[in-house]
């Protein structure tokens, strides 16, 4: 079921803005759930715990986010910080999953 909310350019009241923000936050949680599902898959697939942390891949993911943020005229420095935290949280989660699978 799709939430009943207006796109930002259609909003005329703060109630509409808040409904849109809440709906967007729920969509973001769905996407985060999927992203962390990929971390579970990676933990299952990787046979060596030492390859869970991949600094080159981390840099690539953050660079991709910054490039996309710039194209969208979003605050790319803050997006880089958010993505750094997201990737670090993902790595920690993947390590926990890796250990759990092999316990």
* For range 48-53, the mean pLDDT: 96
At 1 the pLDDT is 40
User: Cα–Cα distance between 40 and 14 in angstroms, integer?
Assistant: 39
Q: Which of 56, 61, 52 is nearest to 84 (CA)?
A: 61
User: Cα–Cα distance between 53 and 98 in angstroms, integer?
Assistant: 12
pTM for this predicted structure: 0.91
Contact, 75 vs 20, CB < 8 A? Answer: no
User: Cα–Cα distance between 40 and 25 in angstroms, integer?
Assistant: 22
pLDDT value at 85 more than 70? yes
Average pLDDT value for the chain: 96
Domains of the chain: 8-101 (1.20.59.10)
């Amino acid at each position: 079921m799709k939430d009943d909310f207006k796109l930002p350019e259609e909003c005329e009241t703060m109630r509409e803005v808040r409904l849109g923000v809440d709906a967007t936050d729920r969509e973001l949680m769905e996407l985060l759930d999927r992203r962390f599902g990929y971390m579970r898959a990676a933990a299952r697939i990787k046979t060596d715990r030492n390859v869970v942390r991949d600094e080159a891949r981390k840099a690539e993911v953050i660079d991709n986010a910054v490039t996309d943020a710039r194209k969208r005229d979003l605050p790319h420095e803050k997006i880089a910080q958010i993505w750094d935290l997201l990737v670090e949280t993902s790595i920690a989660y993947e390590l926990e999953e890796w250990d759990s699978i092999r316990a």
